[in-house]
Structure 1
């Protein structure tokens, strides 16, 4: 492992879009990549997304007091074009319910978005409620390729008995689930590694992708990935200047990240990030884990998982 890391100091100012796209292209060209695969991007009904943005604007309680400006506050079509300009060849429409009765109609919206956006991996979501297995099965049969679970926002126990048959269904189907279960940026009642460990004890073949590298319980979630062969982690916001200020990744754990190089996937949280998209890529590059690791994380691992 190359131990030379580039220090990031001070605020990262957004560049003009065309300049940033060129910078992302140079990053891809250095690695010889045909494009990027970003497993953690947000597209959802506009009125829902605007409510999410308002939550960030008003510093909602789950943000832990952080100021969080939205860098890419653009209309849906503009955001889609921008990802393509960045060379993102596949992305997701991460969306999530915060109460019962939302998931099924969010899934209907996401299915339509995937139909009209061929480079978006058809995304679906779930919530522990009566009927969850039925609408999850319907989404799978309709072609869903990835699910989103948000334990923090949904405030539910992922080991809830209402979800057990659904986790089994997804494990049998081999469909990955991007799950926000770490306690960052603010802890929830059911966040942390223990509830997820209980889920995996019952469903060891479940393909969980731990969002945000499990921040701030990074090492605990690395441990779950070391124990369970189908557990992966996404890089969303990890290692960036913004996150390093309040939930720094322990540098002593980087050899474990290197060893799990085939199960780390690029995620960014676009468009809901308080810095330029390219900063996530530079933050990963600055870890000094080598070009082979970067190629796997930014493209090859997800391309293999989703058979792109």
Structure 2
């Protein structure tokens, strides 16, 4: 899809995003943290952001408040070759329904990484097993919104199943923007101690406990971190990434993945890319973060990413 397919006000951003990855010699971007949800669910999420709810802690304007087709078209125009539909429940009896919706989204969306989720409830192991059998390549867990302990006994077989299957779980386990009852490195660290082969992707670099989650990544070889909102002006105001940790960030460059939180971000998509660039960790690091690491983690789901962007 050409950049002219985007809305008139987005053409310049489309051009600059494409120039970013073209300069790096990449075939496009792979974003491991994007949100597509059933319409009525996303409307409620946006209403929560509009109200600056207690889990956001500050005003949070939605930059890409568009209908679904326009959002998909815009990611394609940006050159995002693969991305998930990060769904997550906030209560019981919701996850299986979200999984059915996400499976349908993946089936009708070229480039979508088939996503699923779970909640600590009776029957969770069964519907997680079915989602894996049906082709889910990534799961989303949100400990802040769900307000559940990842060490809940109901979830222990789920973590084990996903570890054995090698299916990554993008998990909001850091305490940003505001702490939850089970956020921080402790609760998820205990899960990793029981399931050290779990392919855990720490959302938002674990902000604001960056150093603690870098520790977990150094301790467990399958732990990765996504860049979602980290290093941006918006996040640096309240939870700046420590300059002293940049050397560790560079050393873990093969386990850092591009994430954006699109469409629920209070700034342009391009700003996340520029924020990564200004870290000064080099083009090789950027290539790995923006494409190659995710390509290695999702080899089947990102097969189209190896071809040139249309």
- TM-score category by the smaller chain? over 0.9
Quote the offset at 1:30 in angstroms.
Answer: 1.1
2:119 maps to 1:127: yes
SS at match of 2:149: coil
Give, in whole Å, the separation in 2 of the partners of 1:107 and 1:144.
Answer: 9
Q: TM-score scaled to structure 2, two decimals?
A: 0.94
Aligned to 2:147: 155
Superposed CA RMSD: 0.7
Q: Paired residue for 2:214?
A: 222
Q: Helix, strand or coil for the counterpart of 1:22?
A: helix
Is 2:116 the partner of 1:97? no
Give the superposition deviation at 1:16. Answer: 2.6
In the superposition, the TM-score normalised over structure 1's length comes to 0.94
1:251 partnered with 2:229 = no
SS class of match (1:262)? helix
Q: Which residue of 2 aligns with 1:7?
A: none
1:113-192 map, 5 Å:
113-192=105-184
Q: Does 1:29 align with 2:22?
A: yes
Task: Report the alpha carbon displacement of residue 189 of structure 1 after superposing the two structures with TM.
Answer: 0.3
Give 1:293's aligned residue. 285
Pairing 1:278–2:270 present: yes
Q: Among 58, 63, 70, which residue is 2:56 paired with?
A: 63
Q: Give the secondary-structure state (helix, strand or coil) at the position aligned to 1:90.
A: strand
The aligned residue for residue 4 of structure 1 is none
* Secondary structure of the structure 2 residue equivalent to 1:255: helix
Structure 2 unmatched runs, 5+: 1-7, 303-310
Whole-Å separation in 2 of the counterparts to 1:30 and 1:242: 26
Matches within 5 A, 1:253-272: 253-272=245-264
Q: Hey, what's the Cα distance between the residues in 2 that align with 1:238 and 1:119? A: 24
Corresponding residue number in structure 2 for 1:39: 32
> 1:82, 1:26 → 2: CA distance?
15
In structure 1, C-alpha distance between the alignment counterparts of 2:151 and 2:224, rounded to whole Å: 18
1 CA distance for matches of 2:70 and 2:215?
39
2:229 to 237, 240, 263: 237
2:41 to 21, 36, 48: 48
> What SS does the corresponding residue of 2:201 show, helix, strand or coil?
strand
Count of residues paired in the alignment: 293
> Hey, what does 1:19 align to over in structure 2?
12
Question: Aligned equivalents of 1:123 and 1:139: distance in 2?
Answer: 9
1:274 Cα deviation from its structure 2 partner: 0.2
Post-superposition offset of 1:78: 0.3
Q: CA deviation at 1:115?
A: 0.3
Show structure 1 runs of 5+ residues with no match: 1-14
